[in-house]
Amino acid sequence: MSGAEAAFVFGLISSVISICEATKTIYEAAKDAKGQPEAFRQVYAQLGLVIGILDRTKEKAKKVDEASQDALEPILESCKAKAENLNKIFQKVIRKDDDKWYDRYKKAVGTLGKGQKVESLMTEILKDMQVLACEKLTEVATEAQAKEIKEAIKEMNEMPSSLQEETGGAVTQNHEGSGSNYANTAGGFWNSGSGNLTQNDIKGDAHFGKN
């Protein structure tokens, strides 16, 4: 690898490391504040792993040839973009002096676009680390780190959505005969009724009356 090419790769790696460290600092400054979201805590917990893999990648990159360098660049550039978006969300959302994080979070994700939830961004960053450590540059990750990356991706994928409204949807009710029928769509009105009610497919708010 030429000196210029090596410097470019090292610069990309260093940039991603710096962004991840800055994101850690934002969280650590307010991690005990009231109302901090659990999703942010779990994402924060993975930043150390990412930084560790990138540090080892920087060392290994000193020995790669030009073809390997070409393969590293798009992964690192993609990872940098995700790390930047994650950092932007942490900057806009995390506060030490209030617990209005959810409204700020919704606004921040809305600005960045679909697929920019913190757990989604971290999942993709971890997948980039997996490619770097296990495919593009062998021996970057120890066996324990490779296992840790795999488990971290699984943990991120299994997390509940950090924007809870995305888990809502239609509610189907089946009720026959007399008696009360109740429905609630987690955030809408509480709906109830009595009499003979048949199946109702409900989207959004609905009200039931007596037949």
List the structure tokens of 142. Answer: 């120890």
User: Cβ neighbours of residue 121 under 8 Å, at least 6 residues apart?
Assistant: 43, 82, 83, 85, 86, 89
pLDDT value at 16 more than 90: yes
Q: How many CB atoms lie within 10 A of CB 127?
A: 17
Q: How many CB atoms lie within 10 A of CB 34?
A: 11
pTM for the model? 0.74
* Sequential DSSP letters for 143-154: HHHHHHHHHHHH
pLDDT tens per residue, range 64-106 = 777 777 788 999 999 999 999 999 999 999 887 777 888 889 8
Cβ(196)–Cβ(180) below 8 Å: no
Question: d(Cα 208, Cα 193) in Å, to the nearest integer?
Answer: 5
Q: Which of 37-41, 44-48, 56-60, 172-176 has the lowest mean pLDDT?
A: 172-176
| Highest-confidence segment of 74-78, 173-177, 185-189 | 74-78
Instruction: Calculate mean pLDDT across residues 15-22.
Output: 97
Bridge partner list, 181: 193
pLDDT value at 192 more than 90: no
> Taking CA 45 as the corner, what is the angle to CA 42 and CA 49, rounded to the nearest 5 degrees?
135
pLDDT value at 172 more than 50: no
